[in-house]
Structure 1
Amino acid sequence: MLTLDHLAVSAQTLEAGVAAVEDRLEVRLSPGGKHPAMGTHNRLLRLGPGLYLEVIAIDPAAPAPGRPRWFDLDRFAGPPRLTTWIARCDDLDAALALAPPGAGVPMDLARGDLRWRMAVPEDGRLPFDGLFPALIAWQGRAHPAALLPETGCRLAGLELVHPRADALRQALTGLIGEPLIALHQGPAPALRALIDTPSGRRVLE
């Protein structure tokens, strides 16, 4: 069974993404790090025990990874926005066996003391226009949320909107039963996160 792990806000530059999220939530993000295997870097925000948000962008100082980057960042354009939700599991191979085609190929990754396996699509694009979750399995006991300072922010809900909502619901059935996630029919794919902050409830989309 999958568990909601974190949310990803994609941006053309890390600075623009951080500014957009900090302005919306009225809190400060924490330092993240670099991902040499993907040529990206991030900043982080704790959303509760075992749950966090990352702002991620291509690292202009890093060499190209020689393969499509995760979260479809190579094709990302426009203002910073919520693009991906990531779900963790204990057995990545077993989760992939139940996932739709294109959910990704396992990669061993690391950042500092953190170690994890993640399913990365070969073309960078997750199923259902990115609304099927990226799958991750943390190695060892370290998890980013436990290393981040408390900000008073909590995820109150995650809304998935898709033209093929019934098919996406079927793809997720048996994989995740997360009360924070709501799936809706809509004309275009969209993600919306409801976040309770010290300044009140805010929406990231």
Structure 2
Amino acid sequence: MNCELDHLVVLADTLAHGAAWCEATLGVAPGPGGRHALMGTHNRVLRIDGDGFAQAYLEIVAIDPDAAPPGRARWFGMDDPAQQRQLRRNGPRLAHAVLRTPDAQQLHHGLGTLGCQPGRALKISRETASGTLHWCMLVRDDGAIDLAGHLPTLIQWQGMHPTEAMPASPVRLQSATLGGLPAPVRELLRLRGLSGHDTGPAVTVTLDTPRGAVTLHSTP
């Protein structure tokens, strides 16, 4: 059961700051996204699919100031006060990788046998102009990411994939490396098109952009 890169997560204190970061860093403004009612967040998105990275995209996520409190911890550690201060002080940052799998529940069990805590399989949806997106995603109740933030989040789409409605962009993902993953975890995930290592940042990517080659590293 191979896992492949679905999308990269860029966290921002506001979507406006995230969009400005995207245009300044990659030379392209992100497209519209939508709201995640379950998490009290919203996003903007940009296709970055390239050779070996079919249906890959970049997602800029921020807490939605107009949403009601979600009644649970938000994903990607977004409620962590230290992270919120960092985003306000230093601006948006590449934070995480989400991997696509055909069976998130089976991998949840497999990761559990390895001592990992990837979180429960949640059913999530988001409204778009092209219809409602539905997916299943492993998210911990405390919103944290296991392996000190290095364990990629697993997603299983149900129906339409969001890139099917996204316009093409001039940004192309050239390479992606996941760090901080023990060998048994890498063997279980059977990474397709991605390199995996015991050490290093949680995710490192190189993109071909209108501004030339851009390499981004996630930071704690």
Question: Would you say same fold, with TM above 0.5?
Answer: yes
**Once the 2 structures are TM-superposed, how far is the Cα of residue 184 of structure 1 from its aligned partner?**
5.7
Aligned to 2:47: 46
SS of the residue 1:173 aligns to? helix
- In the alignment, structure 1 segments of 5+ residues that lack a partner are none
Aligned to 2:69: 64
SS of the residue 1:99 aligns to? helix
Residue 185, structure 1, aligned to residue 190, structure 2: no
Alignment of 1:135-150 (within 5 A): 135-140=154-159, 142-150=160-168
SS of the residue 2:191 aligns to? coil
Q: Which amino acid aligns with 1:29?
A: P
Aligned to 1:132: 151
1:153 aligned residue (151, 167, 171): 171
SS of the residue 1:85 aligns to? strand
CA deviations 1:131-150 (Å, max 9, x no partner) are 2111111011x111121111
SS of the residue 2:170 aligns to? coil
2:60 aligned residue (42, 55, 58): 55
Residue 107, structure 1, aligned to residue 107, structure 2: no
Judging changes above 3 Å, is the alpha-carbon distance between structure 1 residues 153 and 33 closer, same or farther for their aligned structure 2 residues? same
Q: CA RMSD in A?
A: 1.6
Q: Contact conserved, 1:89 with 1:137, CA < 8 A, in 2?
A: yes
SS of the residue 1:28 aligns to? coil
- In the alignment, structure 2 segments of 5+ residues that lack a partner are none
Q: Quote the Cα distance in structure 1 between the aligned partners of 2:123 and 2:10.
A: 22
Q: Quote the Cα distance in structure 2 between the aligned partners of 1:30 and 1:181.
A: 28
**Once the 2 structures are TM-superposed, how far is the Cα of residue 25 of structure 1 from its aligned partner?**
0.3
Aligned to 1:170: 184
Q: Tell me the TM-score normalised to structure 1 length.
A: 0.89
CA deviations 1:14-52 (Å, max 9, x no partner) are 111221122100011000000000000000010113110
Q: Tell me the TM-score normalised to structure 2 length.
A: 0.84
Aligned to 2:19: 18
Q: Contact conserved, 2:99 with 2:154, CA < 8 A, in 1?
A: yes
Q: Contact conserved, 2:149 with 2:202, CA < 8 A, in 1?
A: no
Number of aligned positions between the proteins:
198
Q: What is the identity percentage for the equivalent residue pairs of Structure 1 and Structure 2?
A: 39
Q: Quote the Cα distance in structure 2 between the aligned partners of 1:196 and 1:180.
A: 17
Q: Which amino acid aligns with 1:116?
A: W
**Once the 2 structures are TM-superposed, how far is the Cα of residue 157 of structure 1 from its aligned partner?**
1.5
Alignment of 1:86-125 (within 5 A): 86-100=98-112, 101-112=116-127, 113-125=132-144
**Once the 2 structures are TM-superposed, how far is the Cα of residue 160 of structure 1 from its aligned partner?**
3.2
